[in-house]
Amino acid sequence: MATTENAAGRIAVRLPDGSVRQYPKGITAAQIAADLGDGAVEAIVARVDGRLVDLFYRLENDANLELLPATSAEGLEVLRHSTAHVMAQAVKRLIPEARLAIGPPIENGFYYDFDLPRALSAEELASIEEEMRRIIAADYPFSREEMDRDEAIRFFRERGENYKVEILKGLDDPRPSLYRQGEFVDLCRGPHIPSTGRIKAFKLRHVAGAYWRGDSSRPMLQRIYGTAFAHQAELDLFLERLAEAERRDHRRLGRELDLFSFRDEAPGFIFWHPKGYQLYRTLVDFSRELQEPRGYQEVSTPWIYRVSLWQTSGHWDHYKDNMFLADAGGEAVGVKPMNCPGHCLLYSQSVRSYRDLPLKFSEYGPLARYEPSGTLHGALRVRGMHQDDAHIFLREDQIEEQIAEVLELVDEVYRAFGMEYTVKLSTRPDDYMGDLATWERAEEALERALQAAGRPYTVNAGDGAFYGPKLDFDVTDALGRKWQCATVQLDFQMPERFGLTYVDRDGQHRRPVMIHRAIMGTLERFIGILVEHFAGAFPVWLAPVQVRVLPIGEDHKAYAERVRWELARARIRAEVDGRNEKIGYKIREAQVQQIPYMLVIGGKEAAAGTVAVRHRRRGDLGSVPLERFIEDIRREIDDRTLD
């Protein structure tokens, strides 16, 4: 803020409500919080002229001041960071041989990496929590000091903290900061909460392995994950959601519902079982149904290319480490990780007119991307994948209308799953391809398209693709978790690299623009998300088995098979449970398998041509003529109801 005329030794502090108060020079943010009282005393960190600082930070000049409680986003992050320090202090007390690596706050919690003489057990996590409670009860103040870098290196080397020494050697700061609480000292930029006693609710979650600095050639460390919240009620709610997420884990449900499996013989690839592949096919059919009226033409392109193609497209310089490469008779080839270069080759097959544009190619073929084994996670992080992928070749004056159409498509897809989303505009990354002016033109065009469509968005600076800016769509599932799924990328670069042109109205050859877009994204990942979103209880239109027919006895199997046949003729996915089991057992099993509808068949139903209908949630719905049931469920499927 602008300097004002102050009495000697006093400064002007502007508060969030816009008021300005005079304070003695050198006053701390904590003292101002105490002076303001009320909610301000709940602050755990301050923001001075836009920079986060400790509450014991002294204001020497006029400033803008905000006081942030633990319930704010910034306050919660600082609280979690400080809790990570308390955890490290507890570990050092219990295991003095422990060596400290790093301990940052992360989304939903924090972690700290340790080099330990033995593997930690679940019981030791409980002991660490108990020691943390003692540290919190002691209410040690956090204090900050600066130290010459060489002195800091000697300080940590004497304590055997070699990882801290390595970090310090890589720092440019000649006077790094250290934080203390009690006997514990750590290298840290801060800020931190005023004292350990301000931690009210925390929980250690689990231990995992992590290579130092993510390098598999470096030591394997033990990473302890935890979380902290401002209040116990928030922590309890978070832990409840975690427990629910574990119950919904797609790997467990995929096995229990017989959808898919994973084998060591093919790490990162999915074995689709019949029911899981039916789910996959239903999503692809849904995508086709929405795309064909919008003029998309489905194609299939090769899945192995010479390396020269990836050099032309620009992927070789930016993506080769993520590709599966092979030697084919002395020639280097690569399995395709994306379809866009092949679609560019298809475009170049013919002379294109401005009347041909937009030209829309879609493809659902196999892709492969190398992911390190430690990052693989069921269907959510795979090496072998398929996408509802498409590329739109268009004139520059068509950008806004085509982006608007893609946004409508996104709406229709996610409405069918009952999922809301937010949009991020991701801009030029550091390793961008092409010239700056073209990038600026592309970013401006994408922003205009968003504004013309009336879509709210946030800017995600520096996270665009190397060839163009993009829109990323964060989808919220039933547990409130966000998943980045759909992506729309505007590309001026690849048409240039492939020499693509169209003949304009004046007979001149001009360069088309290219939109890369995937709505569900990687289908394997999206199915994993859907399994957890619906907890395996898919809506009837999506369910791999929509109806299970349950004959009560042997005499009723013939009619049960006839019912299944009539359902199949109406394009309803049905199966018969003809096992010699009691009907109650069959019903319970169908409900465990999350079958939307069960049709119980006995002598009365066989004689009358009816079915006794049960719904997995609504229970017994009574007997109706088979034709009536078919009409009702067909309507439910066609309307894509979410019940």
25 is catalytic: no
Given a cut of 50, the residues of the chain with pLDDT beneath it are: 2-5
Q: Residue 243, Cβ neighbours under 10 Å: how many?
A: 10
| CA dist., res. 435 & res. 332, Å (int) | 29
Helix (H, G, I), strand (E, B) or coil at 579: coil
The answer to whether the Cα torsion of 300, 303, 308, 314 is positive or negative is positive
CB 393 within 8 A of CB 362: no
| Annotated active-site residue in 188, 340, 344, 485 | 340
Give the amino acid at 52. Answer: L
Tell me if residue 516 is catalytic.
Answer: yes
Establish whether 343 is a catalytic residue.
no
Q: CB of 103 within 8 A of CB of 113?
A: yes
Catalytic residue among 180, 391, 525, 548: 391
User: What integer pLDDT is reported at residue 431 of this predicted model?
Assistant: 80
Q: Look at residue 437 in the predicted model and tell me its pLDDT.
A: 84
- CA dist 67 → 31, 34, 143, 145, 200 (Å): 11, 11, 18, 22, 19
pLDDT of residue 41: 74
Which conformational region is residue 301 in: left (phi greater than 0), alpha (psi within -120 to 50 degrees), or beta? beta
Query: Is residue 191 reached through a cis peptide bond, with omega within 30 degrees of 0 on the bond before it?
Result: yes
Give yes or no: 92 in active site: no
What does the alpha-carbon distance between residue 19 and residue 27 come to, in Å, rounded to a whole number? Answer: 18
Q: Which of 54, 115, 388, 389 is catalytic?
A: 389
Tokens 């590709």 — which residue?
323
What is the structure's pLDDT at 7?
61
Q: Which residue is listed with tokens 């600066």?
A: 146
Beta bridge partners of 597: 547, 615
205 half-sphere exposure, CB direction, 13 A CA radius: 19
Q: Which residue in the list 516, 564, 586, 614 is annotated as catalytic?
A: 516
Element (H, E) at 184: strand 184-187
**Residue 548 bears catalytic tag:** no
Q: What share of the chain is helix, strand, coil (3-state, %, to 5)?
A: 40, 30, 30
State the helix-helix crossing angle for 149-158 and 162-169, rounded to 10 degrees: 160
Q: Which domains does the chain have, with CATH numbers?
A: 10-69 (3.10.20.30), 74-246 (3.30.980.10), 260-533 (3.30.930.10), 547-639 (3.40.50.800)
Looking at residue 3, its pLDDT comes to 47
Q: Collapsing DSSP states into helix, strand and coil, what is residue 269?
A: coil
Can you tell me the distance from the alpha carbon of 59 to that of 431, in angstroms, rounded to the nearest whole number? 40
Dihedral angle computed from the Cα positions of residues 453, 298, 378 and 325, in that order, rounded to the nearest 10 degrees: -110
Catalytic residue among 89, 387, 489, 546: 387
pLDDT of residue 339: 95
Of 569, 479, 474, 469, the residue nearest 516 (C-alpha): 469
Catalytic annotation on 389? Answer: yes
Instruction: Name the active-site residue from 470, 525, 533, 616.
Output: 470
Q: 513 with 491: CB under 8 angstroms?
A: yes
Give how far Cα 134 sits from Cα of 90, 112, 196, 404, Å.
9, 19, 10, 58
**DSSP H or E segment with residue 309:** helix 307-313
Please check whether residue 475 is in contact with residue 416, taking contact to mean a CB–CB distance below 8 angstroms.
no
Catalytic choice (14, 47, 180, 369): 369
Query: Distance (Å, rounded) from C-alpha 300 to C-alpha 291?
Result: 16
* 391 is annotated as an active-site residue: yes
At which residue do the structure tokens 């250690």 appear? 204
